[in-house]
Amino acid sequence: MRNAFVETSNYRRFLAGLETIKGRGAGEACLMVLDGAPGLGKTTTLSRWVAQTGSVYIRALQGWDDQWMITDLLAEMSIRAPRLKRERYQKLVAAFGERQMQNQVSGRSFGIVVDECDLISGRREVIETLRGISDSLEVPIILVGMGNLRDNLRRFPQVESRVSSKIQFTPATREDTAALINGLSEVPVAPDLTEYVWRMSRGYNREILEAIGRIERFGRRVDPGDGGITMYDMAGQVLMNDRNTGSPIMMPEGA
């Protein structure tokens, strides 16, 4: 499989959300909520953006409190945590401010991505600390979750009011699936098989990538022809596993 990034409709939706933050009215409204079911490409999209911009990515942990989070963020910035709480917070804000200024000079965006936010979105001290960082620097903080994030944030009106962009990742479209297969597969794939991958995967990137891997392994053993690997070629082969049952999804015989 090619080591490439394919821009899908979800990725474009994410970039549009960042533009919404840039064009916000209130300076402190710098928070973005990005959610969606597992397997829709959230982490892949954000990892690419973080790598491109030199932004900060951290994954929330079960049991995080505000001080644990600050210590982990300092470690992500390669900064040793001071002993006193106030000093830790000041050190972190100063480091973010310096990184933000460096990015502005080089014409790049800067933000802080907090993944797995469902784990901490009900913890007032953590959410309020993130709000404080965002307010003090007017830096985008992207809160990433899978289901409960939006509802939990409604419990904290001062935080929820600062969310200027809410983005939901949705299953890949037919066009997204074709783009992923064309951009990542090292063997050509026929349109009928592309369509079948889209339908059987239900638009989940994780399953689409699994299917590409299996198609590639099959395609290297045969001559795919000018039109690419077809459903007929792969009859009886495993295409992917069903995410609900774990059972293999087989290519139909005589397709």
**Ramachandran angles phi, psi of 79, nearest 5°:** -120, 130
Residues linked to residue 250 through DSSP beta bridges, in sequence order: 238
The pLDDT tens digits of the residues spanning 52-105 come to 999 999 999 999 999 999 999 999 999 999 989 999 999 999 999 999 999 999
Q: Which one, of 53, 38, 51, lies nearest residue 3 by Cα?
A: 51
The answer to whether the beta carbons of residues 228 and 193 sit under 8 Å apart is yes
Residue 25 has pLDDT above 60, yes or no: no
Predicted structure pTM score:
0.89
Give the angle 246-180-214 at the CA atoms, nearest 5°. 45
Q: How far is CA 213 from CA 105, 187, 197, 210, 239, in A?
A: 41, 10, 12, 5, 9
**pLDDT tier for residue 45 given thresholds of 50, 70 and 90:** very high
The pLDDT tens digits of the residues spanning 203-227 come to 999 999 999 999 999 999 988 878 8
| Cα-Cα-Cα-Cα dihedral sign, residues 179, 180, 183, 185 | negative
